[in-house]
């Protein structure tokens, strides 16, 4: 088997900032720079947090191109290029490769509900593009779950499969993967980063890192250094904010938080709407407790 790409540490699922209905590239540049300054070790544009379902194909392509250009090779760019149509995922992945992305994040094909064999063949087809693949197992969004045995088979038989963003919420899944093969396991849920890494995970693709990149980097550094006491203390301090990012559907809360500190406009695309007023005072107080300057 060929040597596989290694990913680890604190990676961010970037939001896609909007202004007046259009992608706000000035805000995206600020956000990427903020991530690089804060020590984030990988950028993931056009994932769930990036509202990829409501980006046009042209916008999707341009956001990936812009992220690659702004990152300037300082950290890997893992482009969200999944789709429930294999042909569409192939086109998006080819574009990401041409744009200079380092890897592709491929979500389970949602809505169609393919079999395990169908998902295997979907990934095998995308692998022909030649870009390293990070599988994205998130049944709460897709309605289907990649079984651990399918993931292990993919890793062992498809050279381009290098990692998995594990977002099933099941620690047993991460344990089964770590016991069954050498695939890089990355938490897809901030609140489960420490537990998943305790059974073999290597980092997180984080929502909260959009606003607290240095804190998530410090957490991952402590975990990977084996400093369980420090990692646990950081995890418990961050835990209320981890949960606050999901009081409504992601990326609604993180966009509210970013707007509160003046990083982006609080704008989403329908059918998503801004965070309800009842959650805003508590979120603002939590951000202040981490030393962030909140606009009133």
254-293 pLDDT, tens per residue? 999 999 999 999 999 999 999 999 999 999 999 999 999 9
Active site residue 120: no
Spatial neighbors of 194 by CB under 8 A, at least 6 apart, are 219, 223, 231, 232, 235
Note the pLDDT tens digit of each residue in 36-82.
999 999 999 999 999 999 999 999 999 999 999 999 999 999 999 99
Cα→Cα distances 216→72, 82, 259, Å: 22, 26, 20
> Could you give phi then psi for residue 105, rounded to 5 degrees?
-95, 115
Architecture of domain 9-227: Alpha-Beta Barrel (3.20)
Distance CA 127, CA 197 (A): 27
Write the DSSP string, 173-233: HHHHHHHH--PEEEESSGGGHHHHHHTT--EEEESGGGT-HHHHHHHHHHHHTT-HHHHHH
What value, to the nearest 5°, has the Cα angle with vertex 91 and ends 268 and 150?
Answer: 90
Q: How far apart are the C-alpha atoms of 121 and 127, rounded to whole Å?
A: 10
**Selected catalytic residue, list 34, 120, 165, 202:** 165
In the set 136, 155, 202, 255, the catalytic residue is 136
From first to last of its 296 residues, the chain has per-residue pLDDT tens of 567 888 999 999 999 999 999 999 999 999 999 999 999 999 999 999 999 999 999 999 999 999 999 999 999 999 999 999 999 999 999 999 999 999 999 999 999 999 999 999 999 999 999 999 999 999 999 999 999 999 999 999 999 999 999 999 999 999 999 999 999 999 999 999 999 999 999 999 999 999 999 999 999 999 999 999 999 999 999 999 999 999 999 999 999 999 999 999 999 999 999 999 999 999 999 999 999 999 86
Judged by DSSP in three states, 253 sits in helix
CA 113 vs CA 11, 84, 87, 90: distances in Å: 29, 9, 16, 19
Name the burial class of residue 115, with classes exposed (0-12), middle (13-18) and buried (19+) by CB atoms within 10 angstroms of its CB: exposed
Q: What's the whole-model pTM score? A: 0.97
User: Is residue 17 a contact partner of residue 210, using CB atoms and an 8 Å limit?
Assistant: no
Query: Has 136 been annotated as catalytic?
Result: yes
């Amino acid at each position: 088997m060929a040597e596989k790409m290694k990913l680890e540490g604190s990676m961010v699922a970037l939001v896609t900032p909007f202004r007046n209905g259009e992608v706000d590239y000035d805000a995206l540049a600020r956000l990427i720079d903020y991530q690089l300054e804060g020590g984030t070790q990988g950028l993931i544009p056009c994932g769930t947090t990036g509202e990829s379902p409501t980006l046009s194909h042209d916008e999707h392509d341009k956001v990936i191109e812009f992220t690659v250009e702004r990152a300037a090779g300082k950290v890997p760019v893992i482009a969200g290029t999944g789709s429930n149509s294999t042909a569409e995922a192939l086109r998006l992945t080819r574009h990401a490769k041409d744009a200079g992305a380092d890897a592709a994040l491929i979500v389970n094909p949602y809505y169609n509900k393919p079999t395990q064999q169908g998902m295997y063949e979907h990934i095998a087809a995308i692998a022909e593009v030649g870009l390293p693949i990070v599988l994205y197992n998130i049944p709460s969004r897709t309605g289907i779950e990649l079984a651990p045995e399918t993931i292990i088979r993919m890793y062992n038989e498809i050279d381009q499969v290098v990692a998995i963003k594990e977002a099933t919420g099941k620690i047993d899944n991460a344990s089964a993967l770590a016991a069954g093969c050498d695939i890089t396991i990355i938490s897809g849920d901030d609140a489960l980063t420490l537990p998943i890494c305790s059974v073999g995970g290597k980092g997180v693709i984080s929502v909260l890192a959009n606003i607290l990149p240095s804190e998530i980097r410090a957490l991952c550094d402590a975990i990977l250094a084996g400093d369980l006491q420090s990692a646990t203390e950081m995890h418990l301090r961050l835990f209320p904010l981890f949960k606050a990012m999901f009081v409504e559907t992601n990326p609604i809360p993180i966009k509210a938080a970013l707007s509160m500190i003046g990083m982006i406009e609080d704008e989403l695309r329908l059918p998503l709407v801004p965070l309800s007023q009842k959650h805003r005072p508590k979120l603002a107080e939590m951000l202040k407790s981490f030393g962030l300057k909140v606009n009133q």
